Structure 1
């Protein structure tokens, strides 16, 4: 009887003698006997009182609905954070790639300038007499 009366969302039409008999595991006609008559009367009285109050939401269902809303909110926040992190990662990778390209360009220019400077520096170190001597071959 308690199981039937405490169910959420059960209509007043479902709270009848047949449902009580099915829940108790006895026949419906047995509920009309003197043995089960007080049980039937108590059940019908409480069922009418519940239907007069109207639909009542259970505390557990309210609690679950609040929890669902909190979890949905957290999910939205975490999804937003994940999208922001993906964008940050993409931007960071493109910045690193741009810096790498700039470094390669700088190194390439430095290497080219360095080779010219080294050649001109070596030429200025060698004395004219060594390079222009007619008896010695030029290497």
Structure 2
């Protein structure tokens, strides 16, 4: 079905108005900032935006403007902004988790090494005590009464 030039101009005006609303973030409930929602909002058949159809240039303009906004860090669709924010937060939490796991592994290794060293030192002390007791070369000094080492009486 052919449309008149006036109808085409009216449709293009509706499409541009809908495009502006979507790019400002005025997304209808259940919609997104995409061609499907643009076509529905402008009350135009979605297929008219593809190929050599009459409004393909408006689809290209819409996608270009949307990409420009996204490149500038603005996301008109609040759901898309939330998804982007949650993905970034998820990545950050995964990094923190990896760092925590690495720290736990390092501390576990340190604990194992410390326990091994303490066990070795204990064994050495026990060995030295046994050697000293067996040699009987060590003379124990009597405990002094109220005197301290280095004091003269």
Q: TM-score, normalised by structure 1?
A: 0.49
Q: Pick the structure with more helix per residue.
A: 1
Bigger-Rg structure (1/2): 1
